[in-house]
Amino acid sequence: MKFLPTRLCFLALLFLISSKLLAADPPNIVFILADDLGIGDVNCYGGARCQIETPNIDALAAAGLRFTDAHPNASFCGPTRRALMTGRYNWRYGATTNNGPWGFCGPRPNTENFTLGKLLQNAGYRTGYVGKWHLGTIMSTLDGKTQGLSNVDFSKPLIHGPNQFGFDNSFILPGSLDMYPYAFARENVWQGEVTAQKGWSAFNRVGPAEKDFEDHEVIETFYREAESFIEKQRSGKPFFLFLSLTAPHTPTSPGKNWRGKSGLGIYGDFVMEVDHSIARINDALKKRGLQDNTLLMFSSDHGPAPYAGNVLEATPGQLQWLEAEGHFSAGPYRGYKFSIYEGGLRVPLIAKWPGVIPAGSTSNALVGLNDMMATFAELTNTMLTSEQGPDSTSFAKLLRNPIADGQRKDLILRSVVSFAIRDGDWKLCVCPGSGTPAGSTVSQGNIPTPEDAWRNALADYDTQLTESTVLQSPFVQLFNLRDDPHEDRNLASINPTRVSSMIRLLQKQISDGRSTPGPQLKNDKNVSIVNLKDRRLPTVVRAPRP
């Protein structure tokens, strides 16, 4: 029985930590989301293959918890943000409504029904959103038609925006930094005089802009707005701040004070300005004495864009030029933004909560950014209904015990056009290549291209393709990420039973309308794993050989 006192002490420690996690006074929560930041752009993940200094993000990891197997649900922007905000996979929603070009994009129906903002409002939080929105807006128009380049009435507030998603305070850019309109909206009200026409480097999309809007000032503006939100908080009421950055997404436009800082060019400078977000938030929290009971989290919406880098014009494949200099934005992984591979889908995720999260800890558990809904619900003692967050699984217990087994065992992922599913260490990609659109510029740098992949898969295939045959080798890819993190060895042909079981798991979670336990739900649209009539796929049906 000599072990009893030690064991009792350990149990008592766990009880104290658990009590704080479920305390009557829940933590303030600040979630920072970078845009197009690769896992290898962060030094505490990239190591010797990262040539950019990220001291603040590294310090956050040293003081908290670093997840090594974290993913968005998609390798590009909008779908990630919808799933993160709602705890529901993006592809379950219907088509965008009121949809205009680029930053004039409209919302998807039902995305505002239950959100992180509404969850935390219901839990008694003051909620704030600062930064890139990209979840859809409805704007007042001059002609009553769909919002676009020439018909928006900027003298009137947004009809639909962050306020409808449960945010008490908001300061947003409607889309990415290279998507017009180039103007901010505060609490759905346009700021300044939107009377100019501007465009930025990368894609040079010229459109409506606030007359004084400058791309290189946007990140600093967001930092000041985030600081202002924190400074206005008063003790006795917790707050939630979602800080959504527009960097290092193109246009690569670091602020004047950051140019030349990295020694790696403007891309490295821009990443360093992203790293500064941690310092600004920490300083604001300390100024108000709020740092001890604040959960601070940092992540990215997906992997790095293959056309981003030190050339201002979007140039497909230029990230590989940085790799030649020893900097690997995707870390040790294959692929980039838009692809089905881990370079587009594995992201940094770091959390700090003094006194609760063990400093300098690491979790290898599988987590998704869509798990924020269930995690925040557990941390705030909020019960979700069976319809709320149907694809969200809490990882709250990992915050107090990072070496524990995570609750999530599988995760559905998407490239631009293809599904993948994780099942433990196994990953099945339902496509023969990188999962990018055929003939698209986004496939450049993501290899193999769809054309090459399908050509190779069809080389020795003698029969006409059907929807069932393309769910088998050689048209799918199966990887064991524990043994092959770079996804070099396709094991589908020698593991047909595992391929079939993972296809069934994917089909079940699609048809059930949820991936968590609970009653069956309906998707807002019909969802197919693969569609041979999809115009974005290569023409692959071929007649039998004579």
Is 418 in the same domain as 363? Answer: no
Same domain? 392 vs 446 = no
From 408, 430, 447, the end of a domain falls on 408
| Boundary (domain end) residue, out of 408, 424, 452 | 408
Domain CATH for 211: 3.40.720.10
Asked if residue 462 and residue 370 are part of one domain, the reply reads no
Same domain, 225 and 287: yes
**Comparing C-alpha atoms, which of 374, 413, 367 is closest to residue 517?**
374
157 and 112 within one domain = yes
Q: Is residue 523 part of a domain?
A: no
Interhelix angle 218-231/266-287, nearest 10 degrees: 10
Let me know whether 389 and 249 are in one domain. Answer: yes
Residue at 67 is within a domain: yes
Question: Is position 281 within any domain?
Answer: yes
The pLDDT, as a whole number, for residue 10 is: 35
**Cα dist. 388→181, 428, 479, 509, 514 in Å?**
33, 27, 32, 16, 10
Nearest to 516 by CA among 380, 381, 377, 410: 410
Q: What is the largest CA-CA distance in the chain?
A: 81
The verdict on 428 and 302 lying in the same domain is: no
For residue 351, list its beta bridge partners.
Answer: 65, 297
Domain endpoint, select from 408, 440, 470: 408
Question: Does 451 lie in the same domain as 329?
Answer: no
Distance, CA of 377 to CA of 120 (rounded, Å): 8
Number of domains in the chain: 2
Instruction: Judge residue 12's burial from the number of C-beta atoms within 10 Å of its C-beta, 0-12 exposed, 13-18 middle, 19 or more buried.
Output: exposed
Q: Residue 289 domain-assigned?
A: yes
Nearest 5°: CA angle at 341, between 271 and 175?
50
pLDDT of residue 531: 67
| Structural domain range at position 388 | 26-408
Q: Which helix (H) or strand (E) holds 5?
A: helix 4-21
Same domain? For 397 and 460 the reply is no
**Is residue 197 located within the same domain as residue 293?**
yes
Identify whether residues 163 and 104 lie together within a single domain.
yes
Q: What is the CATH number of the domain that holds 432?
A: 3.30.1120
Query: Which residues, 6 or more positions from 156, have their beta carbon under 8 angstroms from its beta carbon?
Result: 140
Question: In this structure, which amino acid lies at residue 175?
Answer: G
pLDDT averaged per 10 residues in sequence order, the chain, 546 residues:
36 42 76 98 98 98 98 97 98 95 96 98 98 98 96 98 98 97 98 97 95 98 98 91 98 97 97 98 96 97 96 92 97 97 98 98 98 98 97 98 97 96 98 88 83 88 83 96 98 98 98 98 95 54 35
- Please indicate, yes or no, whether residues 57 and 184 belong to a single structural domain of this protein: yes
**Cα–Cα dist 97/83, whole Å:** 18
Q: Is residue 516 part of a domain?
A: no
Contacts of 69 by beta carbon, 8 Å cutoff, 6+ apart: 346, 363, 364, 365, 366, 367
Going by the DSSP 8-state scheme, the letter that residue 470 receives in this structure is G
Instruction: Please indicate, yes or no, if residue 241 is contained in any of the structural domains.
Output: yes
The verdict on residue 150 lying in a domain is: yes
Is there a domain that residue 520 lies in? no
- The pLDDT assigned to 7 comes to 32
